[in-house]
Each structure stands twice: as structure tokens, then as C-alpha cells.
Amino acid sequence: MQNPDLTVDNEARPTGRIQRANSLAGDVYEAIFAQLMSLRIAPGSRITVDNLVKEFDVSHTPIREALGRLEGEGLVVKTHLIGYRAAPQITRRRFDELYELRLLLEPAAAAKATATLDDDRLAVLQEAAGVMARRVGKDERLRYSNFARQDAIFHDKIVEFAQNELIRETLNHQHTHFHIFRLMYHSRVTEEALDEHEAILAALSAGDPAAAEKAMRVHIENSRDRLLPAFE
Ligand SMILES: [Zn+2]
């Protein structure tokens, strides 16, 4: 992995093995996450620890740590004697169910959130949306996976501010955003969503529950329509 903060770790293999003390595991996790989101690691395909060790030039430990974390997020499946593989793509039926669930819960949550928003909370939401807009990196895969994570945070924060933990847990438990973003790797998925997020933010800033509900509904419906071609 390319990173200016990396220093050579000469304790083990002599050739170019790199390690950054603090967040090597985190970097490895982000790199594998980006490959899963951008479909470089195809859904359902085997993930070989030894191959990743070679590709990233790190030891087994951070790879196994990263895979364990991804397993907890539903993106990697570990099978006895077989090892790791990427979770299979969600089915069309599950896709429909996920969007039905989101449309039932998130527009109402956005409306409800307007009642609790103060300047601090609005700043949190603006930051979540702003971080997405600023991610204009050279690495398209990393940009895409960053957006997937940031989108999850943006939506989660709105539900948090609606103050219903059960709704929040229900949505988080599905790892909705990770599965949805993995359906199709395409820049349109992020560009149009950014405009829609702006509309949601504007309605929330205005403290207008009806507008917030509508902006969230439009965003989720558009998101569904953008991703539907993945099943054709
Ligand atoms: Zn979104």
C-alpha cells in the first residue's frame, strides 16, 4: 500500500516489508473494504489470506484482523475448512425488502429529526455530507468505498437524531449501505446522491419536517432506481 507515513519494518522479511505502527490494521482493512465495495473482489469469490499477504506486503495478523472485522460487517463469510470468501451479492428479493424497509423508516425519521436539530447536530450532518463532497482522490476505488461508509454515517446520524434506537439498530443490523453499494461500482451512484443529500440537508436546516420527509423519500427511491440495473 502506498502511504507516505509508512516506515520500513526490518524485523521480518528483508525485502520492502512495510509497516506503520499505529494503524496498519486499519489501512489493511480499508484496502480490502475498498476492493469489496468496488467489486475487485467479486461477491462469492474466495479470499486467500496468503494472496493478500503478498499483495499488501504485510504479515498474516492484520489481514486476519481485517477479515474478522469484515465478517462482523456481513461482507466476508468464514467457512470451516474452506476459509474466507466474499459474501454473496444480495438477491433481488432482499434488495426490494431493504428498500421497502428504508422507505418505511427513514423518511419518517428525517421528519422527526427536524424537531431535535440544533446547530451542533446540523454541523455533524453537514460534516458527514461535506466529507463526501471533498473525497476527490485519485484512487477511484477508495473514493467509492469512502462514500459508501460516509453515506452510512450520514443516514445513521439522521436516524440517531430522530431518537428511536430500535429503528437505528434495525437499519444498522442489515449493513444496508455496504450491500447496496456493492451491487454496482459506478460514479453515478455517488454524484447524484450528493445532490440529493444537499436537498435533505436544506430541508433539515429549514426545520421543515414535510420537506425533510419528502427529500429523504426521493433520495431513497432514486437510489433504488440507480441500482436496479444491477439485476438486469
Ligand atoms: Zn444517501
Mean pLDDT, all residues of the chain: 85
Q: Do domains 23-86 and 92-231 have the same CATH topology?
A: no
Inform me whether the pLDDT recorded for 133 exceeds 90: no
Question: 114 C-alpha vs ligand 1 centroid, how far in Å?
Answer: 17
Q: Ligand 1 centre from 193 Cα, in Å?
A: 6
In the chain, where the domains are located: 23-86, 92-231
Give the model confidence (pLDDT) of 92-131 as tens digits. 999 999 999 999 999 999 999 999 999 999 999 988 876 5
Q: Which CATH class is domain 92-231?
A: mainly alpha
Q: What is the pLDDT of residues 139-197, one digit of tens each?
A: 788 888 888 888 889 999 999 999 999 999 999 888 888 888 888 877 777 778 888 99
Q: How far is the CA of 54 from the centre of ligand 1 (A)?
A: 35
**What pTM was estimated for this model as a whole?**
0.80
153 alpha carbon to ligand 1 midpoint, in Å?
9
Give the distance (Å) from ligand 1 centre to CA of residue 228. 16
Class for the domain spanning 23-86: mainly alpha
- The rounded radius of gyration (Å) of the Cα atoms in the chain is 19
d(CA 117, CA 3): 38
